[in-house]
Structure 1
Amino acid sequence: MSKRQSSFMLIVSLLISGVVFLQMGLYLISILAGWNVRFNLVEVCHSWIKAFGLSSLEYVLDGFVVYTLLFAIWKIGLHWFHAARMKKRFELYKENALTIAMNQTYNSGKKEIIVISYPAPVAITVGLSRPKIVVSTGLMSLLNDDELTAVVYHEMYHKESRDPLKIYLLSLCSSTLWYIPILKWCHQKYRIVNELLADGFAIEKQATSVNLGSALLKMLKVGKQETMPFAYASFADTSVNYRIDYIVNPFMDIQLKLPRRVVFLSAMIFSLICALFIYALA
């Protein structure tokens, strides 16, 4: 499993989504500012629709674009609301003494790990601009020192790679532009790849997969972690089967093949819907 795969899925998703949102943004600017965007595909596709006698679709297309933009704004606002709410809860349940001790142990005193008082085992990385690792007292009581270190190393990879931000962008693209199925595939597979990369980092740091494997099994026995309504990278709620295979045999190369049907369907939808429906605005 290579980092090239995760980078490929991230870039493909952002490129597809970027083209769609850029054209929509240019169109809105042209309306609000009275700016005539020359050579914009909006005008080209709109003239095609009129040429084929489909001018009645203009209203449908307008509604579709408005829906997409409003849905994107709603998703962004919802994320920031829940993230701000959860940040306050983390501060409320923060264990100051344990937080200081954990940061001294793993980060030379830097404030990058937060320990919260919570009975269930929690190990997540949160924050889009300045990600932090959050672990619970329930996790610390469940695992031994070596297992806890493996989990922290795993989350450190997510923090250094800024995975919460990347996961958030992929989630936003796939949910807002749900009619392009390759975006959902990239979002799901990106999480799998990056969990394996984080596992590989932890195994490399400890020179063994025993601690990581036992920590994962203990957390799975306790039960699946509760999902949260904002972007985060979690230790034990994603791609468990792939990760168990990888931990048993870290030298195994797990390849994720592009589904031809999804690629073909996405290409068709991107060409037809994005070009004709999103770009084709009067």
Structure 2
Amino acid sequence: MWWKKRSLFVIGLSLLIAVLIWSQMGMYIAHLLFGVNLHVNVFKFCISLFKEYSFYYFLVTIILNVLIAYTILITLIKIIEQCMLLKRFKKVIFAQQNLGLTSALNRKYERQQQDIIVIDHKESLAFTFGFRRPRIVLSSGLIEILDRDELEAVVEHETFHQKNDDSLKIFILQLISQSIWFIPLTKWSYQNYKIISELLADEYAIQRMGSELGLSSALFKLIKNYFKGNSTPVLVHFSDESVNYRLQQLVEPKKAIPVRLKTTSMVISIYVLLLLMGMIFVTIT
């Protein structure tokens, strides 16, 4: 329950910052393009602080316009890039699909939506992908090295990601962190959520299995297999910075795991946000 609340806080914080910044940018663009009269706008207020047509007036205008243009451009590029990547990725997945194993696993785990896909691949892979209809992908190499309980634990872990729409949430948080890079809290939220989502998925798998043995065994086995020299990630969700946190949770499930924000990032973020809120307050009054 604690991790669930933490995940909602992280997502809410990032979305709040994004709405604040993007809405102000949208209003400013509407003012520039259509002459919309703005009563409350941070960017217009920044420009109004300088004498019209002075050097600093033009300098600040150029800086703000470049910042807004970059934010819009990087957002559009990342969305288009992700859509194209997902389309190509689907083709690769379905081209490598093992129809026999796919059908067998969907029957075994009673997946009415047929949302598990098994691909022929020697590496041990398991991940969830897709936005509208997330699917779980397992490799034949993974199935070969895991026993029944371990494989079921991995499936339950990925099922949580699927039900929780983690692929979409992580992409949105990543998009926000890249477009609003000048507020480090957005990057912290993105990195934090990736870790928290893994811990929540582990909790879900343990609850479904009734024990942490299957998940623990699978995690240790896959990590061991990875360090034997595999060139690709053992398990997409098992191979990132969340591994240490997950191992700690499995060993000491009752111990709180601090996921801290660097002091410098916190100070910069708070300063920028207070500055923005102060400007909005001044324009209102």
TM-score (structure 1 length as normaliser)? 0.87
Query: Are residues 218 and 36 of structure 1, via their aligned partners in 2, closer, same or farther at CA, if it must alter by over 3 Å?
Result: same
Task: Determine whether 1:106 maps to 2:109.
Answer: yes
Q: Who is 1:230 aligned against?
A: none
Instruction: Give the drift of 1:261.
Output: 4.0
Q: Percent identity?
A: 35
Q: Distance in 1 between matches of 2:50 and 2:223?
A: 55
Query: Matched residues in 2 for 1:171 and 1:274: separation?
Result: 24
Of 129, 132, 157 in structure 2, the residue corresponding to residue 129 of structure 1 is 132
TM-score (norm 2): 0.87
Q: Which has the higher contact order (CA 8 A, sep 6+)?
A: 1
The structural deviation recorded for 1:176 is: 1.7
Amino acid across the alignment from 1:98: L
The number of residue pairs the alignment matches comes to: 272
Q: Which residue of 2 aligns with 1:236?
A: 238
Separation of aligned partners in 1, 2:150 and 2:50: 61
Distance in 1 (CA, whole Å) between partners of 2:134 and 2:278 is 37
The answer to whether 1:45 aligns with 2:46 is yes
Counterpart-to-counterpart distance in 1, 2:232 and 2:33: 44
Verify the 8 A CA contact 2:11 2:189 in the aligned structure 1.
Answer: yes
In angstroms, what is the RMSD of aligned CA positions? 2.5
Please name the residue that 1:180 is paired with: 183
Does residue 1:96 correspond to 2:99, yes or no?
Answer: yes
Comparing 102-111 and 267-276, the one that deviates more: 267-276
Cα distance in 1, alignment partners of residues 15 and 129 from structure 2: 21
Aligned-residue offset at 1:38: 3.9
Which residue type is aligned with residue 248 of structure 1? V
Instruction: Give the deviation of 1:102 after TM superposition.
Output: 1.5
Instruction: Report what 2:174 is aligned to.
Output: 171
SS at match of 1:14: helix
Gaps of 5+ in 2: none
Residue 62 of structure 2 corresponds to 59
Q: Secondary structure at the match of 1:235?
A: helix
Is this contact kept in 2: 1:104–1:110, CA < 8 A?
Answer: no
Query: Hey, what's the Cα distance between the residues in 1 that align with 2:151 and 2:139?
Result: 11
1:31 aligns with 2:32: yes
Give, as a single letter, the amino acid of the residue that structure 2 aligns with 1:31. L
Partner Cα distance (2:133, 2:277) in 1: 34
Pick closer, same or farther for the CA change 1:27–1:82 going to 2, 3 Å.
Answer: same
Residue number in structure 2 paired with 1:13 = 14
